[in-house]
Amino acid sequence: MDDMDKNYWENMLFQTEELESCFDESFSYYDSSSPDGAQSSAASKNIVSERNRRKKLNERLFALRAVVPNISKMDKASIIKDAIDYIQELHNQERTIQAEISELESKRSIFLDFDQEMSYNSKPKRSRFEQTCDSAGSRSSPIEVHELRVSHMGEKTIVVSLTCSKRTDTMVKICEVFESLDLKIITANITAFSGRLLKTVFLEANEEEKDVVKIKIQTAIAALNDPDSPMSI
Amino acid sequence: MDDMDKNYWENMLFQTEELESCFDESFSYYDSSSPDGAQSSAASKNIVSERNRRKKLNERLFALRAVVPNISKMDKASIIKDAIDYIQELHNQERTIQAEISELESKRSIFLDFDQEMSYNSKPKRSRFEQTCDSAGSRSSPIEVHELRVSHMGEKTIVVSLTCSKRTDTMVKICEVFESLDLKIITANITAFSGRLLKTVFLEANEEEKDVVKIKIQTAIAALNDPDSPMSI
DNA sequence: CTGTACACGTGAGCC
DNA sequence: TGGCTCACGTGTACA
């Protein structure tokens, strides 16, 4: 590669030298054909200008080659092609990494949110859940929760496990309950067995008293069964 | 910009048309000066070849212009210059994002370490970006457990949550660990995010002292990272 | 009228 | 030897 480079510049130099003799030739030639001094001056200006343009373009190309790794050939066209491929590769990487970063951030906010308290959760953004639920008709069939257990795991985590009937959108409705209580879902799990659904949901505990949260959850989920009755475990 | 583009291609087209008449001229000229048919054929071949070369180069340049946003001018030199600037800008972005990702990851790892924690990895964690940069990324066996938390939920249940690299058979190896410790798995859960796997395993606690079990689990899982070192909490 | 930017044909070097 | 890549000078169109 280095020697190719050397050859490249040697060629450049060589042809630059060659240019001068050529230039003399053309100059005398022009002098004979059209003796107008202004015209020949303009022509030589054009020549030197064009020479500078080519030089600048080659320098740019050389600089482009410098910022692009993995240059296969020293070809002008190949340099540009490699640059194009490299830019596209960078674009793909950028997209991937952006997705990864946003995912990391979202997961981190779900995860435990230690010091910085849910900054962008101030408004209960009823986002996708309720939208999909609206289209499906959330009011239609009650969920029929059969068993419900709310327990604490460590200081920061609440585990809710419940069984309910096999309906569609049961998990969505459960999640809506937690959302309405400002409880963040860490992870959730559905298991189907004997015509029932067993759900296990890990929640991030907020600052409230444990028992208060527990009662709130039980009340809200029990309300899914019969919105009129205040509750009955 | 659109009109500039149009002008550009109009020019291209125009000068291409012009070329044909020029070509005819030069052809007849050559025919008169040197009646050697082979020579003129070679010359015309050279002409058309050179024409194709220029065309290819221009197409490449056009493609380069297409993948680079914010092109200031349609100049050839300017196109290359903008491409260079853009690549350098992407390089800066890449460095910034890489730093951001590592910072995020370190925060996240600090985060889980609040309870009883080991999980400090001697190796500098290879971010996903570095892995893509790595030409040969296929590393075989070790699972690379990054975070590990063992806690008790009630009297009968142990919850183990850990994150590890995305490998095949990671859960199998984890389960083998629990089996070797005579711990029964109640349920297990895998969640994939940001190139990692988050596993949550519920174990049935045996009769041993809680802290003893905890240490055993931590030791055995740490051994997955580096089987030689016995580990140090 | 003066640059500027371009495509063209041409000759030369290099496999 | 033919097939490339290249730099060069030149004519032309546009601002």
Tell me if B210 sits within 8 A of B216, measured CB to CB.
Answer: no
Q: How many residue pairs bridge chain A and chain B with CB atoms within 8 Å of each other?
A: 116
Question: Does B83 contact A87 at a Cβ distance shorter than 8 Å?
Answer: yes
Q: Which nucleotide is nearest to B74 (CA to C1')?
A: C5
Statement: the CB of A28 is under 7 Å from strand D: no
pLDDT above 90 covers a percentage of chain B that reads 0
Per CB-CB distance under 8 Å, the chain A contacts of B91 are 67
Q: Which of B77, B129, B187 sits opposite A56 (nearest CB)?
A: B77
Poorest-pLDDT segment among A112-116, A164-168, A225-229, B67-71: A112-116
B208 alpha-carbon distance from chain centroid: 46
Specify which residue's alpha carbon is closest to the C1' of nucleotide C4: A49
> In chain A, which residue's Cα lies nearest the Cα of B105?
A104
Q: What is the pLDDT of residue B19?
A: 34
With residue B172 as reference, give the H or E element that holds it: helix B170-180
Q: What is the pLDDT of residue A169?
A: 60
Residue pLDDT, tens place only, A60-75: 888 888 888 878 788 8
SS3 content of chain A, % helix, strand, coil (to 5): 60, 15, 25
Q: Which are the contacts of B171, defined by CB distance < 8 A and separation ≥ 6?
A: B188, B190, B199
| Domains delineated in chain B | 44-107 (4.10.280), 145-225 (3.30.70.260)
Q: What is the pLDDT of residue A218?
A: 86
Alpha-carbon gap, residue B205 to A157, rounded angstroms: 19
Per CB-CB distance under 8 Å, the chain B contacts of A192 are none
Q: Which are the contacts of B221, defined by CB distance < 8 A and separation ≥ 6?
A: B145, B148, B160, B162, B174, B177
Q: Which of B60, B91, B154 sits opposite A80 (nearest CB)?
A: B60
Q: What is the pLDDT of residue A6?
A: 38
Alpha-carbon gap, residue A229 to A142, rounded angstroms: 13
Interatomic separation, CA of residue B22 and C1' of nucleotide C4, rounded (Å): 23
Residue pLDDT, tens place only, B186-211: 777 776 555 667 777 888 887 778 78
